[in-house]
Every structure is written in structure tokens, then in C-alpha cells.
Amino acid sequence: MTRTDGPDSERILVLAPIGRDGPAAAALLRESGLAAEACASLTELRHGLELGSGSALIAEEAFYQDRLDVLVDWVAAHPAWSDYPFIVLTSGRDTSPVHARRVRLLEALRNVSLLERPVEAVMLVSAVQAALRARRRQYETRDLLLERVHAAARLEALVAERTRDLEEANRRLRTEIGQREQVEATLRQAQKIEAIGQLTGGIAHDFNNLLTAVLGNLELAILQVTNETARRLLSTAERAARRGAELTRQLLAFARKQHLKIEVVDLNTLVSNMGDLLFRSMGGTVRIETVLQKDLWPAMVDASQIELVILNLAVNGRDAMPEGGRLTIATANMDAHDTTRPTELSAADYVAVSVSDTGTGIAPELLSKVFDPFFTTKDIGKGTGLGLSQVYGVARQSGGTVRIDTQLGRGTKVTVYLPRGVGATTAPPEKAISVVQANRRHQTILVVDDDADVRTVTVSSLESLGYAVSVAESGRAALELLERGARFDLMLIDYAMPDLNGVATLRRVRAKRASLPVVIMTGYAATAAIEEAVGRAGILQKPFKLEELAAKIDGALRSARSAEAIPSSNVVPIQSG
């Protein structure tokens, strides 16, 4: 295979600067069928070489008139396959300077053939043709090298493609191995829980029999004795036995051997109706939020047991947030095609209820133990270790399961999956709240409280006294109202609220409206620090009577009218309790 890269690649360049030798030699070569072009100087020859040629015929005297280095750097820049052939026509002189010059010429141009003049035309044409054949072989070598490079590149691309295929296959294999290990771990955990459940169920059953006898006899003995000391001792023993019965009930729930009244339950209604119980159980430093899915499917579960499940999870969440935080209860539908469904559940429709906290989270090494009976991370005396066991037992006995998603320092989410029920339940109608209106006093009170029930009764009381009332469910909401330019004559604010408590909110309010009178409600006894900050006159204790509320508001408004501004010490933090 010969590649010439165009007609110039076999062109013969002729340089003979004295007389007519150059044009005559070029004409002779053209008559022999070769492409030849005469050059006037080494510089012009160099330009022709750069455009492309097969060989160069140069008269020796050309190097006397011009510098040899015009060609040297061009020769040095050639690739490894190239050894450009030069033919130099010499004279018969062979003096030492001439000889030395010829040696330098041979060393500089490398591939040089010397022809001594006079030279016959046949010999000249033959020498040029030989040089051109050598140049063609160099072209063939170049093409072979290029083909080898291209082949190596194709091979490298093929190897890279095969490597990517192998890496993808390895990735899929690692994924499959990870999934299999996860399934195996889930199976081992289920088998462990099942074995513990069988043992626990047997013990709880026998223990229940014992407690039945103990409690029955204690009740009979209490009815028959008349001595108060003996009756008191028996009552104490009965209470202790009933606590044992409660523990037994939780063990039976874990073992899935308790009697459940499975029915169609509207989880949205159930969660909403638990509001009072949850607010009382959480305390004032935990904000409770609900995210209830619209058009939620009904669930098949024992309503009383799922209430205990939600309460247990809420209490665990509260205990994981000793400094306060947010507790979120959410519901959701999960159809049979949902790929996030836990592997132990069959392909069916489920209803999920989850309880999330922003607490400390659970360490990874403890996740496999959290459902074990009597396992707890709480301090001694602060937990029995049966809460999550009962949650797991109720979920599994109902035909569902439990999943825990947790991250240390970020919180925990426990999701209970329950089978979808057929039919729907109707939430009980809400009772209307009657409000007695009194004469209006043309003053507006801003009520700030995160507890909806407390907020409602406070608003009703103020309206019955004749005040106009605006409400905000948090300190930030109150600040947003002020930012929008809303005007109020007094702010009545709760102390213990998530995010911004009453005092923190007051400080920001003071920066915007220093003269706004403020009364802070609290369910705690006022501490010296609170009194120093707001003064006792600015504190309204919970629970309060209507006349106490009226007197506190009237006093704060009178003080505001008699002073240009209310000092920050008049602000009273209110702690919900």
C-alpha cells in the first residue's frame, strides 16, 4: 500500500544556481516522466520541501552561496519513518576544505548520494528514480505505522469498552449481593423475632395465669378484711400486680397472641382525635405536626391498639428530644406497585402511619435489637423496653410490618404499615363553640400560642370581654404580622413554644414596637429570672379565670397609656404546662 498524499509528494526539486544547469536538469527529468521543479535558492528549496517532494537534486555550489542550516532544522524535525533522500552533484576537486565541507554535508543531511560531474543523463535519471523508490518505501512504512497506531487505538477503545462492561457487571453483581444480604438479614431478624416471640408468648401466657389467680385472691381478700392497715397493704399489692398484668399484655402484643378487634379504621380521624392526649404527653417544648393524606384509604386494625402504638412512638420521640424539637405524625397510601414497600410485605395495598422526630437518632449497631423485648437505651427506671416490641407485635398481627429510618443527630422515623380496609368510616361531627359577645372596647389583642385548644379558649374569653382579637400560632407568625404592618394594642403570648419562646419573641417585637404592652402566660411558677425580665405584673399564670385575665389586660393597657413605652422588664414569659 502506497500513499503519496497528493502529487507534490513525488515531486523532484532541483537546485543549481549557476548557469542553466538547474532548468536543464529539471527538463531532463520531466522528459523521463518525473515531476520536477527548479529552485533558485536554498530558501526556495526549503519552501518546496515543506510543501512536499520525493527527493532533491542539488548542485554542490549551492551550499557555497547559502547557509546549510536552512535545511538542517527541516531534516532534524522529520519523524522516525522519514529519511529524506538528497542527491548532490559534486565537482572533480577534492581539496581538504572541499572534502571537509562534503563531510559536514553528509552529517547534516544524513541521506545524501554524491554524483560527480560530468554525469551522464541516464545515470542522473537512474539515481533520481532510485531515490524516489526509497522515498516511496518510506511512505509505505509510514502507512504501516499509522495503521498500527490506529489498530492500537481501536484495541484500546475495545478494551475500555469491555472494561466498562465488566465494571457495570461487577456493579450489578455487588448490588445483587447487597440486596441478597439485606434480604438474608431481614429474614434472620424475622426468624429471631419469631423465636423470641414464641418464647415470650409462652412465658406471658403462664404468667398471666399466675396473675389471674393472684389478682382474684387479692380482690376477694380486700372485700373481706376490715383492718385499714391490711386493706392498704392489699391495695398496694393489687396495684403492683396490675402493673405486672400490663407488662404481660405488652409481651403478648409482641408475641402476637393478644386478642385484637380488627375493624375498618379511619387513621386520619383517629390521629386527629388523639390531639389532646398527645399534647398533654409531649409537653411544651415539642411541636406536634400532622401531615394527613387526603382521601386516605381505611386500614384494617384494632383501633385501641393502634392508638397505643402511636402514643408509644410519640413518647419515644419525645424522649429522643430532651431539648425539644418537632414531632410529625403522617399518614399515606401505598399501592401494590410501590417499589419502596418493605420486602416482607406482599404485593397489596397498605396504609402507612409514621411518627418522626428530630431527636438523637439510633446507632446502626442497635437497629437489629430495638424490637427485642426489654431492650431499651433509656436510663434505668425510664422505660421497660416493651414499647417498640408492642408496636411490632400489633403491626405484624394486623398483617403489616414496621420500618425504622434513622440518622444519628438528625432524628428517627418509624412507619407502621397496615393492610388496606374495605369501606370507610365517618368522622364524628365537631361540636360548635358558642361565644358570648360583650360590648366592644375598640382595642385589639394579639394572642400568640402554639396550643390550639389554649388559643381557642383565650380568644373566646377576650371576645367575651369585648376585645377584638387576632391570633398567631407561633412567635414567628406574630413577627410576620407586625412586619406586614398589623396594629395591636397588646400582645398576649405563651412562654413555652417551639422554635421561639415568649421571651425570645418579645425581644424581637421590642426592636420593632418598643411601646407595645405585652403579657406573658405561663404554666410554671415564675422564676426570679422571669420576674427580673418582665416584672410580676406582666405574668398571667395558667390556668386562669376570666376576671384574672381581664384584670391583667386592663392593668397592662392602663400602664401603657400612662407611659411613653413599656420597658422590656414588663414582658412576661409564659410556660405551657
Residue range 379-419, pLDDT digits in tens: 554 555 556 777 887 888 888 998 889 888 889 999 999 99
Q: Which pLDDT belongs to residue 567?
A: 47
Compute CA 470 distance to the chain's CA centroid, rounded to the nearest angstrom.
39
How many CA atoms within 13 Å lie on the side-chain side of 91? Answer: 12
Where is pLDDT greater, at 362 or 209?
A: 362
What CA–CA distances, in Å, run from 100 to 63, 94, 97, 488?
A: 13, 9, 5, 112
Average pLDDT over the chain, rounded to an integer = 79
Do the Cβ atoms of 61 and 17 come closer than 8 Å? yes
As a whole number of Å, the CA-based R_g of the chain is 49
Q: Is the pLDDT at 429 greater than 60, yes or no?
A: no
What domains sit in the chain, N to C, each tagged with a CATH number?
Answer: 7-146 (3.40.50.2300), 263-419 (3.30.565.10), 444-570 (3.40.50.2300)
Neighbour-count burial of 233, counting CB atoms closer than 10 A to its CB (0-12 exposed, 13-18 middle, 19+ buried): middle
Q: Which range is least confidently modeled, 13-27, 124-138, 250-264?
A: 250-264
Q: Residue 246: its pLDDT value, please?
A: 60
Residue 520 carries which side chain, given as an amino acid letter? I
The C-alpha atoms of residue 22 and residue 15 are separated, in whole angstroms, by: 6
- Mean pLDDT across the stretch 286-308? 89
Determine the Cα angle at 93 with ends 92 and 99, to 5°.
115
Give residue 306's pLDDT. Answer: 87
- Higher confidence at residue 223 or residue 404? 404
- How many residues does the structure list for the chain? 577
Percent of all residues in the chain with a pLDDT value above 70, rounded to a whole number: 76
Residues 514, 515, 518, CA angle at the centre, nearest 5°? 95
pLDDT band at 267 (very low <50, low <70, confident <90, very high): very high
pTM: 0.38
As a whole number, mean pLDDT of residues 105-132 equals 90
Question: Can you tell me the distance from the alpha carbon of 125 to that of 200, in angstroms, rounded to the nearest whole number?
Answer: 110
| Distance, first Cα to last Cα, the chain | 97
Measured between alpha carbons, how far is 248 from 260 in angstroms, rounded to an integer? 15
Dist CA 139 CA 5 (whole Å): 9
Mean pLDDT, range 179-200, rounded to an integer: 63
Q: Tell me the C-alpha distance between 58 and 71, whole Å.
A: 12
Which of 38-47, 89-98, 188-197: highest mean pLDDT? 38-47
As a whole number of angstroms, the distance between CA 412 and CA 328 comes to: 11
User: Which residues have C-beta within 8 Å of that of residue 94, sequence separation ≥ 6?
Assistant: none
